[in-house]
C-alpha cells in the first residue's frame, strides 16, 4: 500500500511518517507548502528513521495521484483543498485535521462522494471507545446530570476547544437526543448566573507539552461520574491513522469515522 503524508513536517506529520514506516507500508510522498523550511529533506530522516530516498515536496497533486491513501493533519483550509485533489485522483483520504467549520465539513462530505474519506477529530482507539461510552452514559442519565467536558493540551495548540472535546460533546448530545450547537456552553466569565439545565459545558486548558487529556463529567445530585482519557504519546494517533488508511483503501466512496474503522458501529 502506497501512503502519502500531508503536513509531514509538523508534530503529527512526523509522527505519521514514522507510523507509516514502522507499519512496513510504502511511503511515497510527504507534502508541505511552497517555501517551507523542510522542503527537500528526506522523509525518513524527518521521521527520526533511516533515510528512504524520498524528499519533502510541495506538489500535493502529484502526491495524491501517486498514493493509494493520504494521511493529513494540517489546517482546515488546506484540508478542504486537498480533499478535492483526493477526489480527482481517486485517492483515499484520512483526515485528522481539527477546527473545520460547518462549510468546510460540507466540502469534505462533497469530496467523499467520489472517494472514501475517514474524518475523525481523534484517531486513538481509546478516545473513540470513550466517545461510544459517553453517548451511552448520556442516554442513560437524564438532564439532572450536568455534562461538563474539560480538555488540556500543549501550549502550541491553536484551536479550542479541541476537536476531540467537541467530538465528545457531540457524543453526549446524541445520547441526549439534541444538537450540540443548541446546548453548548463554550465559555464562562464574570457573573454568569446559575447553570442552565441541559447545557453541555466546555473548558480548555493549555500548557507545557501535554499531548492530550480529556474528561467528561456527569455531575448529578449526590454523585458524579467522570470518564477520562489521557494520551502520553502522539504515536497512538499515528497508529490509528495508519489503521484508518488500511481500512479505507478499496472502500466505496463515503464519509466515514473511526467508529467504522474500529468496528464500533452496528
Active site residue 153: yes
Angle among Cα 198, 216, 144 to the nearest 5 degrees reads 30
Cα–Cα distance, 148 to 203 (Å, whole number)? 8
Active site residue 157: yes
Q: Which of 2, 36, 154, 157 is catalytic?
A: 157
Backbone angle region of 139, left / alpha / beta, with phi > 0 → left and psi within -120 to 50 → alpha: alpha
Q: Which of 36, 82, 93, 153 is catalytic?
A: 153
Which residues are known catalytic residues?
153, 157
Amino acid at each position: 500500500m502506497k501512503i502519502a503524508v500531508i503536513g509531514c513536517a509538523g508534530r503529527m506529520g512526523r509522527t505519521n511518517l514514522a507510523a507509516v514506516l514502522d507499519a512496513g507500508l510504502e511511503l511515497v510522498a510527504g507534502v508541505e507548502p511552497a517555501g517551507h523550511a523542510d522542503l527537500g529533506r528526506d522523509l525518513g530522516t524527518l521521521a527520526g528513521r533511516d533515510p528512504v530516498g524520498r524528499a519533502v515536496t510541495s506538489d500535493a497533486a502529484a502526491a495524491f495521484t501517486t498514493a493509494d491513501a493520504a494521511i493529513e493533519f494540517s489546517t482546515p483550509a488546506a484540508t478542504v483543498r486537498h480533499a478535492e485533489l483526493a477526489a480527482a485522483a481517486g485517492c483515499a483520504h484520512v483526515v485528522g485535521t481539527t477546527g473545520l467549520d460547518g462549510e468546510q465539513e460540507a466540502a469534505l462530505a462533497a469530496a467523499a462522494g467520489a472517494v472514501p474519506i475517514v474524518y475523525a477529530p481523534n484517531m486513538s482507539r481509546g478516545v473513540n471507545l470513550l466517545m461510544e461510552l459517553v453517548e451511552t452514559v448520556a442516554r442513560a442519565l437524564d438532564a439532572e446530570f450536568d455534562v461538563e467536558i474539560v480538555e488540556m493540551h500543549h501550549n502550541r495548540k491553536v484551536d479550542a476547544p479541541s476537536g476531540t472535546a467537541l467530538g465528545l460533546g457531540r457524543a453526549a448530545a446524541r445520547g441526549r437526543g439534541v444538537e450540540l450547537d443548541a446546548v453548548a456552553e463554550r465559555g464562562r466569565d464574570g457573573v454568569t448566573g446559575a447553570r442552565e439545565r441541559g447545557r453541555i459545558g466546555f473548558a480548555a486548558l493549555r500548557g507545557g507539552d501535554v499531548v492530550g487529556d480529556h474528561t467528561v463529567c456527569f455531575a448529578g445530585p449526590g454523585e458524579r461520574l467522570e470518564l477520562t482519557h489521557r494520551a502520553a504519546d502522539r504515536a497512538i494517533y499515528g497508529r490509528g491513522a495508519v489503521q484508518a488508511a488500511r481500512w479505507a483503501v478499496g472502500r466505496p466512496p463515503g464519509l466515514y469515522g473511526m467508529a467504522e474503522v474500529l468496528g464500533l458501529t452496528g
